[in-house]
Structure 1
C-alpha cells in the first residue's frame, strides 16, 4: 500500500513541475579568477578568428556526421566481445580452489618465494642466516654470510644487528600478555 501511495505522490502533477523546472534560469558558470578572465579576454582580442571559428557550424563536419550509420546487432544471449573481454571470461571460467586451508605437509606458516634476486633474502633464508650466526659467531661472521648469501657486507651487518627471529608468546587461560620492558 505504501508503494502505491508513493507512486501516486511522485507522479502527481508531473508535467507542470517539469515545465516549471525548464522555465527556471539555467545555472550560471562559476566566476573566473580575475587574472584568468584577463588572459581569456586578451587571447580573444589577439585571435578573433578562433572565436568566430568556434561559434560557427562546420558544414563539412556536419555532412560527414550525417553519413555515419551505426548498426548494432546482438545475438540472443551472446554479445560481441573484444579480446580483453574474452581473456577475462576465460579467467573466470577457471575453477576455484576447493581446499582453502594451508598445505598440511608444509611446516612453514608462510609461502616461500621461488626465486630470490641477489642481494635479497627470503624470510626463511634470513632465519637460517640468523641461526647460523647465533650457533657459531666466529665461523659464520658477517663477511662469510655476505659471501654465502651474495649480499652487501653493510646490509648483512645491519641484518645481524637489527633483525630478530620471530618469538611466539603463548597466552595461557587469558592471562595478561607479558609486556616489553620500557613500555
Structure 2
C-alpha cells in the first residue's frame, strides 16, 4: 500500500516538471585555458629551404662509419648475398654473444635441456623409450622403463598403452562403391 502511494507522489505532475527542466537555459561551457607560450609558427616552404648555419655545423661534427656485412662474409664476389642467420649475427657481435644461450642440440634438431627433474622425460628420451618398447616388449617392460627413468609405474603403463606413434590405421569407407585412392 505504501509503495503505491510513493509511486503516485513521485509521478505526480511529471510532464510539467520535465518540460520545466528542458526549457531552462543551458549551462555555458568552461572558458578555454589561455596559453602563455608563443603561438605556433606555421612553417612555410621558404623557411624549409633556407640554410641554417648552426645546424649545419652540428651535422658536420657527426661522424658515421658503416660496414656492409654481406659483402664482407662472401668476399665481395656476389652482388646479392643472402642475409646472415640470426645465430651468425649474434656470434659476430661480442656484446650480443653473451646473451645467446647455447643449448645442446639433439638428434631431432631440438634444444635439449641440461638438467631434467626426476619423473620427467625429454622428447628424445620419450621416443627412444616408445621405440624400444615397441621393438622389444619382453626386454623393455613398463616396470623396467619406470625404474630406469624414475617414472611412476601407473603413468608409464598408460603412456605405453595409449600413446602409439608408430601405428598407422586405414579406416575403410562405409560405402563399398565409393572411389578409393590406391597407395601404390
TM-score scaled by length of structure 2: 0.35
User: TM-score when scaled to structure 1?
Assistant: 0.35
* Structure number with higher relative contact order (C-alpha < 8 Å, ≥ 6 residues apart): 1
Whose helix fraction is larger, Structure 1's or Structure 2's? 1
